[in-house]
Amino acid sequence: MFKKILVANRGEIALRVMRTCREMGIETVAVFSEVDRSAPHVLFADEAYLIGAAPSSESYLKYDKILDVAKSSACDAIHPGYGFLSENTDFAKLVTAAGIVFIGPPAEAIKTMGDKTMARQSMLQTEVPVVPGTEDPIEDISKARSVAEKIGFPVLIKAAGGGGGKGMRIVNSAEEFEDAVGKAQRESQSAFGDGRVYIEKYLEEPHHIEFQILADQFGNIIHLNERECSIQRRYQKVIEESPSPFIDEALREKMGEAAVETARSCNYVGAGTVEFLVDKYKNFYFLEMNTRLQVEHPVTEMITGTDLVAEQILIAAGEPLTLKQDDVKTTGHAVECRIYAEDAAHDFAPSTGQIVLLQIPDGAGTRFDGAIRQGMEITPYYDPMLGKLICWSKDRNSALNRCERALREFYIGGIETTIQFCRSVIRHPAFREGSYDTHFYSLHKEELLAELASSSDEVLLVAGGTLFQHTEQQKHRAHHDSSKQSSKSKWLDSRAERNHR
Amino acid sequence: MFKKILVANRGEIALRVMRTCREMGIETVAVFSEVDRSAPHVLFADEAYLIGAAPSSESYLKYDKILDVAKSSACDAIHPGYGFLSENTDFAKLVTAAGIVFIGPPAEAIKTMGDKTMARQSMLQTEVPVVPGTEDPIEDISKARSVAEKIGFPVLIKAAGGGGGKGMRIVNSAEEFEDAVGKAQRESQSAFGDGRVYIEKYLEEPHHIEFQILADQFGNIIHLNERECSIQRRYQKVIEESPSPFIDEALREKMGEAAVETARSCNYVGAGTVEFLVDKYKNFYFLEMNTRLQVEHPVTEMITGTDLVAEQILIAAGEPLTLKQDDVKTTGHAVECRIYAEDAAHDFAPSTGQIVLLQIPDGAGTRFDGAIRQGMEITPYYDPMLGKLICWSKDRNSALNRCERALREFYIGGIETTIQFCRSVIRHPAFREGSYDTHFYSLHKEELLAELASSSDEVLLVAGGTLFQHTEQQKHRAHHDSSKQSSKSKWLDSRAERNHR
Amino acid sequence: MRYEIIGGGKSVEVDFLAEDGKLEISTDKRRASFDIVSVQPGVYSVLMDNRSFVVGVGTRNGQKLNVNGTPVSLELLDAVHLHLRDLGWESMEESRAGLVNTQIPGLITRIFHVRGDEVSEGEPLFLIEAMKMENEIRAPISGTIIKISVQEGQTVDKGTTIVEIE
Amino acid sequence: MRYEIIGGGKSVEVDFLAEDGKLEISTDKRRASFDIVSVQPGVYSVLMDNRSFVVGVGTRNGQKLNVNGTPVSLELLDAVHLHLRDLGWESMEESRAGLVNTQIPGLITRIFHVRGDEVSEGEPLFLIEAMKMENEIRAPISGTIIKISVQEGQTVDKGTTIVEIE
């Protein structure tokens, strides 16, 4: 087994990975940028090395520097987390060439699946259905526009070089097309260092459903059921759950098999996620495969009782899977709420500043994967996700009740967060009934935001009374201070006067 | 279902109960003493009422006052938590008489089982084996001594009116007997308002193993397996786990049946715990039944996926059990560490003061049931337990690894706690192997305390370097302040001088 | 003292009565007594007629509160301010509506206009990148751009005025 | 500057070198460079040759530290104090060993002696009840009780002197 692992990431996922390393008796090495000197992942790790300035292009994406740290600190493996270098073929190759284990799939599989257009081409060779769209990244804008017109608007523009909703745009008409492509290209370039984008048919009333897979080095591949990820805003997931209220056992089996086939088609090794779109008639289409740990992986961990990071490490160390497909049993229901430093009321604009007060929920079936602490400064340099609240219970209804309870307990003061927004979604009747698709947010945006802005008479009275008292106390204190001040200067004056006499 | 529940308790258990109430859509009412005005349970509840001065005899034990609050705030039920009034027959009767549901067993069952001597007498009528000892509370000291001599020293003196190790004493010889009885009586009186104590044979190499049971109002009784509670100090549990590494499936079945028989013998309704002593030959003896929620109940919740507080409430509301004995399936392994405000290095002396820094562990399989926050004052008035860390994983070894990781993450600054002590126990080879009994602490005390006191060279250097820097900075600051001061007074002096001229 | 509490899409007229450190509040519908203790700076435990609330008061802006985890934006106007408002003084602030500030710190990646351009309300003015997301800032009012204070590629702090429209 | 670090059952002689805000430390066995930043008052993130530690320094008593969650009691003696100790001055404190203070606040439920009693080391002196547990306090040294400052039933603060033995 590995003795020391470098975690080439920051934030909640770095902490998540290090926790499992420590549980497995493996030492951890953190890398950090100048603004992250006292970030939680630095404090948690056994060793920590400065790798550059705040912008990720000068630190967390600097793979030569990270590799140097791994070598000089005698790491036997590197875990890339998600984002940053996790789907970078060159990095995976360099790491492997240096005799260090890359905890992730072979570079070849990253190349095939990490590149969304190549993945589509590859999947067209299999039995797995694929969403109609361009096979190559956009080069000629007018040619691309005619492809889009042939597929029929609306179409989606998506980054070829990465996922997570970054560099993604929905285009409703030919007029918007060129502008949207430009924006998507710039965003992709900034997020993944790769500006290539491609076009995909925009399915109506679609569900975003993904399957977690595990593949060892001996060709054993299993799936750990689905995650329903249709609650999105800004094309980014915000709430995920498993099981999906939309999927029945027969469909689960078919899609699970397709996910395993997808992994097999690219000789996949490690933990990965196969994303599908499912339309209202329960037709499903391969969307993409994420060749890394997924943000929402805890949802699967909680219903299957697995530790996916531990599985990744064991697989990378050459252990065969201990679980067979028939051993995968799920219990209960899990829901994840992503807590972003964003202002839901202002189109989810990022919010930065100091966390002046922090209360994290806890108790039965309540897990928070985060990397925040009271007094910490949230900088504008990185992803605005502060952490994820995951709640488990024996069935969907009680899991949602638990989630609502935990969100009410959750308090982050000093910055705007999506805590309240998540609560509004969890309380929404359509979500409660489990009848929702990826249009949930745009369909119910008005109601959700109205709920955020409204207050009961009781809350207004409480807030008003407290503000009154708070203001009075501050006035009192200010008056007290100034009277001390004035008595002091009086004393000085009288002293001066006395001296004059 | 109930609309509003009064929780007649404080601290972590009040919060624990209220969390489930909120998840079930039930309003919560807190009661609090003068020093608890800003305690976590007051802040969490929907309503909160002051009931008296700090000493529990003037507040949390004042059942007339608590009942008044329940009536005037229109509660339909009272949850007593553990300790305080949870096993008080009079309180249960008064509550019921007032037309309010007491969330616990019928007063008759509390009376039979809550009184340890009566329970022994009652159990002698059944097939369940009982530990040899006195049948009645001690009245005549010399008669009691001769009973003790007949059983053979060492004997245990135990409180008839309550559990949790309070009022308990082990007596090794006839000479110590009278003194020990006196101390036990005083402690019982103070803890439970009932000074009666009784004698029990002290088994050698015994395991303290208890079974969780659930009984509805229709005579359905199930058990939810055992909890191993042999790690104790001061006759109080400090670490519990389930499954017990000592129990095999056959014994589990036999003891489970005995637990159910025990509950049936007293017409039990609600959640309860049947405690057994098991000797090294795996003979088991009924010890006592706790007619309330147990501190360590989360261990059972985590392996069975149940919410025992929810079950209590459903049973009290007249719902039949939805689980049958055959439905009780356990997954993995759970361990609980009790975090006390105590100084392990000084015989677990209580530690009071302000929590100046707090970091609570989190992540996969990690639960903390507590009622603390940074800046909070720990007063000397109540039980020193700050909360419980419960870790779950798929097997015992990984659960212990997780527990060790979580304890390392746990930091409470400003007061002494048992965090480090728990870590020493979890790391101890005997505990790791699962070969331990209730003598674990006394057998390994020296090693455990030595580990607490020792530091590696690396840690000494780090501590020394940090203290040096800290001290230098403080000197610098002090110097800076005083030089500001002196320049100011110089200015005053020169001004005065000028005025003199 | 008579006040108006404005927030959550409504307003309530109330009387505050503070005596011996105890606060009472009354509206035309109800009367409530407060027990407020400070839990940490800016955070209060409030019992209003024994209903329990945890209330956070923002440090930067006293009128942004948080009640039981829910943000509440509040204005508390006393008689004098109410009178001023009735006289129409409230609109004083609006004359500066053409100042476009950054709500977030970040990198200005694109500016769509030059000084002198006419813009309509809602038209994109510039792009600011923060936390890896590009945010489009639009014109709050229609008018002429009289000043642009930054250049593309410049990093700006929160609250910097980027564009002035008149 | 030469110091001796005493704690965890051992002692290490070290040289501290603080230059340009950077701290270096050397013993006869190793040399290490420190990067220390304050995370919150009294809490530091320490990188010693890139090994990461979180160190808490007690507010009341600077010599009670916490390294990665583990309490460490430490003495940091400079040359002057080392010299004094060599001269035997360290035992100064011990003359007050007969003062029995309460380590915890609580209720004195029982006092076993009166003034003038002879007690042996380890003999019970009094009982104090705190957090519902009765704690027996024993004589730290043998001698005569020259003063008892409280009565049974009295509530005392932490650090109160209860008994004096000479």
Over range D47-63, report the average pLDDT.
83
pLDDT for C41: 85
Answer whether A470 sits within 8 Å of C44, measured CB to CB: yes
CA dihedral C114, C119, C123, C124 (to 10 degrees): 10
User: Do D45 and A49 make contact, defined as CB atoms within 8 angstroms?
Assistant: no
Find which of B420, B462, B473, B475 to mutate to test the D interface (most D CBs within 10 Å of its CB). B462
The pair of structure tokens assigned to A195 is 């500006």
Q: Is A305 in a helix, a strand, or coil?
A: coil
**Contact of B96 with B107, CB cutoff 8 Å:** yes
Q: How confident is the model at residue B191 (pLDDT cuts 50, 70, 90)?
A: confident
Q: Could you state, in order of their start, the residue ranges of all structural domains in chain A?
A: 4-103, 132-201, 207-457
| Residue C20 clears pLDDT 70, i.e. is over it | yes
Q: Averaging pLDDT over each range in A188-197, D92-101, D144-153, which range is the top one?
A: D144-153
- Facing residues of D18 across strands? D23
In angstroms, the separation between the Cα of residue D164 and the nearest Cα of chain B is 21
**Is beta strand C64-67 parallel, antiparallel or unpaired with respect to C51-57?**
antiparallel
As a whole number of angstroms, the distance between CA D79 and CA C49 comes to 63
Cis peptide upstream of residue A380 (ω within 30 degrees of 0)? no
Q: How many CB atoms lie within 10 A of CB A249?
A: 8
Q: What confidence tens digit (pLDDT) does each residue in A452-498 have?
A: 888 888 999 999 999 999 888 887 777 666 555 444 443 333 333 33
Q: Averaged over B186-205, what is the pLDDT?
A: 85
B interface test, pick of A23, A331, A407 with most B CB neighbours within 10 Å: A23
Whether residue C161 is predicted with pLDDT greater than 80 in this model: the reply is yes
More confidently predicted of B302 and A153: B302
Res B497 pLDDT > 50:
no
Using a CB-CB cut-off of 8 Å, the residues of chain D touching A374 are 40
Answer positive or negative: Cα dihedral of B238, B242, B248, B250.
positive
Averaged pLDDT score across all residues of chain A: 91
For B238-265, how does the pLDDT look when each residue is reduced to its tens digit (9 = 90+)? 999 999 999 999 999 999 999 999 999 9
**Contact flag C62-A467 (C-beta cutoff 8 Å):** yes
- Least-confidence region, from A284-288, B306-310, D161-165: D161-165
Q: Which residues of B are catalytic?
A: 292
Beta strands at B377-378 and B353-354: parallel, antiparallel or unpaired:
antiparallel
Residue B406 tokens read as: 């979580």
- pLDDT confidence of residue B495: 38
**Alpha helices, H only, chain D:** 79-86
Cα C32 from Cα A468, distance rounded (Å): 14
What pLDDT score does B452 carry?
Answer: 87
pLDDT of residue B141: 85
pLDDT of residue B68: 98
Cα D15–D20–D26 angle (5° rounding)? 20
Minimal C-alpha gap between C12 and chain B (Å): 23
pLDDT in tens, A97-138: 999 999 999 999 999 997 777 888 889 999 999 988 877 788
Residue A440 and residue A207: Cα distance in Å, rounded?
Answer: 10
Return the H-helix or E-strand segment holding B62: none
D32 vs A contacts (CB less than 8 Å): none
Q: Give the domains, in start order, of chain D with CATH numbers.
A: 2-90 (3.30.700.30), 96-165 (2.40.50.100)
More confident residue, A45 or C147: A45
Which of the four pLDDT bands, split at 50, 70 and 90, describes residue D50?
very high
- Closest CB to A364: pick one of B367, B370, B374: B367
Which chain B residues in 148-207 lie under 8 Å from chain D, judged by CB atoms? 166, 183, 186-187, 190-191
Asked if B37's CB is within 8 angstroms of C39's CB, the reply is no
Tokens 């990378």 found at? A316
By a Cβ cutoff of 8 Å, what residues of chain C touch chain B? 37, 39-40, 45, 47, 50-52, 54
- pLDDT of B99-109, one tens digit each? 999 999 999 99
B chain contacts of residue D58, beta-carbon cutoff 8 Å: 413
**Which residues of chain C are within 8 Å of residue B42 when distances are taken between CB atoms?**
45, 52
Contact (Cβ atoms closer than 8 angstroms) between residue C70 and residue A345: no
Q: Which of the pair, A498 or B331, is modelled with greater confidence?
A: B331
Decide: D127 and D135 in contact? Cβ < 8 Å.
yes
Predicted local distance difference test score (pLDDT) of residue B492: 38
AA letter at C49: D
State residue B189's pLDDT score: 85
Closest C-alpha among B331, B369, B355, B464 to residue B416: B355
| Confidence band of D78 (pLDDT split at 50, 70, 90) | confident
Mean pLDDT calculated for residue range B167-189: 88
Would you list which residues of chain B are within 8 Å, Cβ to Cβ, of chain A?
Answer: 15-16, 19-20, 22-25, 44, 298, 301, 305-307, 310, 331-332, 359-360, 362-370, 373-374, 393-394, 398, 401-402, 404-405, 408-409, 495-496, 499-500
CB contact under 8 A, A465 and C42: no
List the strands of the sheet with D124-130, edge to edge: D133-138, D124-130, D106-111, D155-156
Question: Residue C91 above 50 pLDDT?
Answer: no
Q: From its phi and psi, is residue D159 left (phi > 0), alpha (psi between -120 and 50) or beta?
A: left
Please check the confidence at residue B123 and state whether its pLDDT lies above 80. Answer: yes
Q: For residues B365 and A24, give the distance between their C-alpha atoms in angstroms, rounded to a whole number.
A: 14
pLDDT surpasses 50 at B459: yes
* % of chain A residues with pLDDT over 70: 95
* Predicted confidence (pLDDT) at residue D93 exceeds the cutoff of 50: no
For residue B61, what is the DSSP state? T
pLDDT at position A481 is 61
Residues 6+ apart with CB under 8 A from A23: A307, A310, B398, B401, B402, B404, B405
The label of the residue with tokens 């129990």 reads B247
Using CA atoms, how far apart are residues B282 and B286, in angstroms rounded to an integer? 13
SS3 labels along D45-68 = EEEECCEEEEEEECCCCCCEEEEC
Cβ of residue B455 closer than 8 Å to a chain D Cβ = yes
Distance from CA of A52 to the nearest CA of C (A): 18
The residue written with tokens 């802006």 in the block is C61
Cβ-based burial of C61 (10 A; exposed 0-12, middle 13-18, buried ≥19) = exposed
The chain D residue lying nearest B358, using CA atoms, is D69
Nearest to D127 by CA among D99, D156, D147: D156
- The listed CATH number (3.40.630.30, 3.40.250.10, 3.30.1490.20, 3.40.50.300) that belongs to domain A132-201: 3.30.1490.20
Once rounded to an integer, what is the mean pLDDT over residues D139-144? 86
- Is the pLDDT reported for residue D105 higher than 80? no
Interface test with C, best of B22, B43, B46 (most C CBs within 10 A): B43
Type and span of the H or E element at D44: strand D43-48
Average pLDDT value for chain D: 83
Rounded to an integer, the average pLDDT of A426-433 is 97
Q: Is the pLDDT of residue B69 over 60?
A: yes
* Contact criterion met (CB < 8 Å) for B465 and D10: no
C-alpha to C-alpha distances, B30 to B33, B371, B373, nearest whole angstrom = 10, 14, 18
Token pair listed for A280: 């209202």
- Interatomic CA distance for residues B37 and D142, integer angstroms: 45
- Tokens standing for B151? 């059983």
Evaluate the CA torsion angle B437, B443, B447, B452 in order and state its sign: positive
Per-residue pLDDT tens over the stretch B411-435: 998 899 999 999 999 999 999 999 9
**How many Å apart are CA B18 and CA B23, to the nearest integer?**
9
- Considering only residues A238 and A501, tell me which one the structure prediction assigns the higher pLDDT: A238
CB–CB of B375 and C52 under 8 A?
A: no
Range name among A20-29, A261-270, D128-137 with the lowest pLDDT average: D128-137
Contact: C70, A455; criterion CB under 8 Å:
yes
Highest-confidence segment of A8-22, A156-170, B134-148? A8-22
Q: Do B383 and D71 touch (CB under 8 A)?
A: no
- List C-alpha distances in Å: A244 to A241, A282, A335, B222, B261: 6, 12, 10, 32, 42
Reference B108, options B124, B94, B125, B92; nearest CA is: B92
Strands A77-79 and A101-102: parallel
Residues in chain A with CB shorter than 8 Å from the CB of B466 are none
C55/A462 CB distance under 8 A = yes
The helix (run of H) or strand (run of E) holding residue A20 is helix A11-23
Q: Are C122 and C156 in contact (CB under 8 A)?
A: no
Angstrom distance (rounded) from CA B100 to CA B86: 15
How confident is the prediction for chain B on average, in pLDDT? 91
- CA distance linking residue D72 with residue B461, whole number of Å: 11
- Partner residues linked to A288 by β-bridges: A275
Q: Answer yes or no: do A37 and D37 touch at CB < 8 A.
A: yes
Helix or strand (DSSP H, E) at A357? strand A357-359
| CA separation for the pair D114, D147 (Å, rounded) | 8
Residue B501 pLDDT: 37
pLDDT (0 to 100) of residue D166: 86
Residues of chain A with Cβ-Cβ distance to D51 below 8 Å are: 46-47
Cis bond before residue B243 (omega within 30° of 0): yes
| pLDDT at A271 > cutoff 90 | yes
Contacts of residue B4 in chain C, CB cutoff 8 Å? none
Active site residues of A: 292
From chain B residues 356-415, the ones with a CB under 8 A of any chain C CB are: 374-375
pLDDT of residue B226: 98
Is residue A383 a contact partner of residue A423, using CB atoms and an 8 Å limit?
no
Which residues in chain B have Cβ-Cβ distances shorter than 8 Å to C47? 48
Lowest-confidence region among A363-372, B196-205, C41-50: B196-205
Instruction: Give the C-alpha distances (Å, rounded to integers) separating A464 from A352, B249, C53, C61, D119.
Output: 27, 61, 13, 14, 64
Cα–Cα distance measured from residue B138 to residue B199, given in angstroms and rounded to the nearest whole number: 8
Residue B166 has which token pair?
């309070």
Residue that the structure tokens 């009767």 belong to: B93
pLDDT of residue A69: 98
Q: How far is C98 from chain A (nearest CA, A)?
A: 18
CA A465/CA A471 separation, integer angstroms? 10
**Separation CA A116–CA B278 (nearest Å):** 62
Q: Using one digit for the tens of pLDDT, what is the confidence trace for A225-253?
A: 999 999 998 778 999 999 999 999 999 99
Q: Which chain A residues touch B328 with a CB distance below 8 Å? A: none
Q: In the numeric block, which tokens belong to residue B36?
A: 């608890």
| Whole-number Å distance between alpha carbons of A70 and A92 | 13
Average the pLDDT over each of A83-87, A308-312, B36-40, B454-458 and give the range with the smallest value.
Answer: B454-458
Q: Provide the token pair at B161.
A: 């009116």
CA–CA gap between residue C111 and residue C124 (Å, rounded): 9
Q: Which CATH number fits domain B4-103: 3.30.413.10, 3.30.450.20, 1.10.287.130, 3.40.50.20?
A: 3.40.50.20
CA B117 to the chain's CA centroid:
23
Collapsing DSSP states into helix, strand and coil, what is residue C80? helix
Structure-token match 């005037």, residue found = B72
pLDDT attached to residue C59: 57
**Residue B493 pLDDT greater than 70, yes or no:** no
Instruction: Tell me the C-alpha distance between A8 and A53, whole Å.
Output: 15
* A60-64, B480-484, D136-140: range with lowest mean pLDDT: B480-484
pLDDT of residue D60: 54
Among A277-291, A355-369, B144-158, whose mean pLDDT is lowest?
B144-158
CATH of span A207-457: 3.30.470.20
Predicted model pTM: 0.86
* Band of pLDDT at residue D130, cut at 50, 70 and 90: confident
**Pairwise CB contact (< 8 Å): A22 & B408:** yes
**Between B360 and C122, residue with greater pLDDT:** B360
What tens digit of pLDDT does each residue of D107-129 get? 888 888 888 899 888 888 988 88
CA B238 remoteness from chain centre: 8
Mapping DSSP to helix (H, G, I), strand (E, B) and coil, where does residue A300 land?
A: helix
Chain C closest-CA separation from residue B63 CA (Å): 19
Cα distances from A11 to residues A41, B196, C155, D60, D151, in angstroms, run 6, 56, 23, 33, 57
